[in-house]
Amino acid sequence: MADPIRVLVRRGETVEAVHRIHAVAVREGAVVAERGDAGLVCFLRSSAKPLQALPLARARDDLDDRDLAIASASHLALPEQLEAVRALLAKAEADEDDLECGPEDGSRLRHNCSGKHAGMLALCRAAGWPIAGYRLAEHPVQRACAEEVAAAAQVSVASLPTAVDGCGVVTFALPLERMAFAFSRLEELDAGARVAAAMRAHPRLIRGPGAADTQLMELRRGWTAKGGAEGLFCAAGPGGMGVALKSEDGAYRGLAPALAAFLADVGEEVPELADAPLVNSRGERVGEIVTER
C-alpha cells in the first residue's frame, strides 16, 4: 500500500504544517489507484448530497438544473445561491421557518445546507409526507436517503453506521473505496445523470469560488464533484471513474493539491489545482500549500 499523500503548508520557506490525505480511485468496480488506506471508514457528510438529491429528482418533474444543483450544494450564502434556495423553497410551498438546519449568522437560509433541506421539503410535498421532523432518522425522507446511499455503494442499509450531521439530518459512514465506487456509478443510478448534469451546469452553486469541487467542475469537462466536512472530497469523472479523498486531520485546505497529484496518477492532469496559495488577511500571498515532492 502506497503512503498517504503528504501536503505541505509553507509560510515563507518554512514548513508550518503537514496534512496526510488518503485517496482511492475506482473504475468498473475495481480499485485502479490508491494512496494510503482505501478502507478508511469515515462519514460521507456533504459529499452525500448528490445521492440524497436522487429521490427528489425522481419525485418532481418541475425542477430545473438550478433547483437540483442547490439541493446538492454546500453554499457560501452568496446572493445567487440564496436566490436559488428561495426558488426551491417556493416550489416546496415552504419558507425559511420550515427549514430544520439551524441558523447561520441568524438565518436558516444562510446555512450552507439550506438547499439540501429545501430539497427535502420539496420531496415531502411531492410524496405527501409531513414536513415537521423531516430531519429525523425515522422520517421517510431520511429512510429514503439511507436507501439511496446503500444502493449506490452496494451495501445493506443495516450495515451503514449513522450519526447526526452538522445540519441535523442523518449522515452515513462508508470506507473510502465504497464512496469512490458509489460516485463511479452516479450517472448510472436512476436520476443520477440528471443530478450530475445539474451540478456541472452550476458549479458555483455547489460551493463557490476557490473550492476544490467548484474548481474541478469548472476546469475539466465531465467531472462532477462534491466536498464534505472534515476534509472529504468525492468526484465522478468521465469513463466511470470515481474518486474519494480524506484528509486525516479533517483539514480541507490540502485537498486541491492532493487531488491534482492523485488524478495525475490515473492520467487526469489538473495542474491548476497543484499549487494553492497561502494568503493572509490582506490578500497577500505569504506561502504555498503543495504536495510533497
Question: What does the pLDDT average to over 80-98?
Answer: 98
Distance CA 45, CA 112 (A): 12
Over 90: is that where the pLDDT of 30 sits? yes
* Per-residue model confidence (pLDDT) at position 293: 79
Arithmetic mean of pLDDT, 234-251: 97
Average pLDDT of 257-283? Answer: 96
The reply to whether the predicted model has a pTM over 0.85 is yes
- How far is Cα 280 from Cα 268, in angstroms, rounded to an integer? 31
Conformation bin of residue 252: beta by default, left when phi > 0, alpha when psi is -120 to 50: alpha
Q: What is the pLDDT of residue 66?
A: 98
Answer yes or no: are the C-beta atoms of 23 and 247 closer than 8 Å.
no
pLDDT surpassing 80 at residue 231: yes
Comparing CA positions, the residue from 287, 219, 202 lying closest to residue 253 is 287
> What's the average model confidence in pLDDT over 205-213?
96
CATH fold for the domain made of 5-291: Beta-lactamase (3.40.710)
Average pLDDT over the chain reads 97
Kindly state the cell numbers that stand for 188: 448510472
Q: How confident is the model at residue 93 (pLDDT cuts 50, 70, 90)?
A: very high
Which three cell numbers, joined as nine digits, stand for 211? 473550492
Query: Does residue 100 surpass a pLDDT of 80?
Result: yes
User: What is the enclosing helix (H) or strand (E) of 276?
Assistant: strand 275-279
> Which residue bears the cell 445567487?
80
pLDDT at 269 over 90: yes
pLDDT at 38 over 80: yes
Rounded CA separation 118/124 (Å): 10
Per-residue pLDDT tens over the stretch 119-131: 999 999 999 999 9
Q: Which three cell numbers stand for residue 81?
A: 445561491
Q: Where are the domains of the chain?
A: 5-291
Length reported for the chain: 293
- The whole-number average pLDDT for the span 53-64 is 97
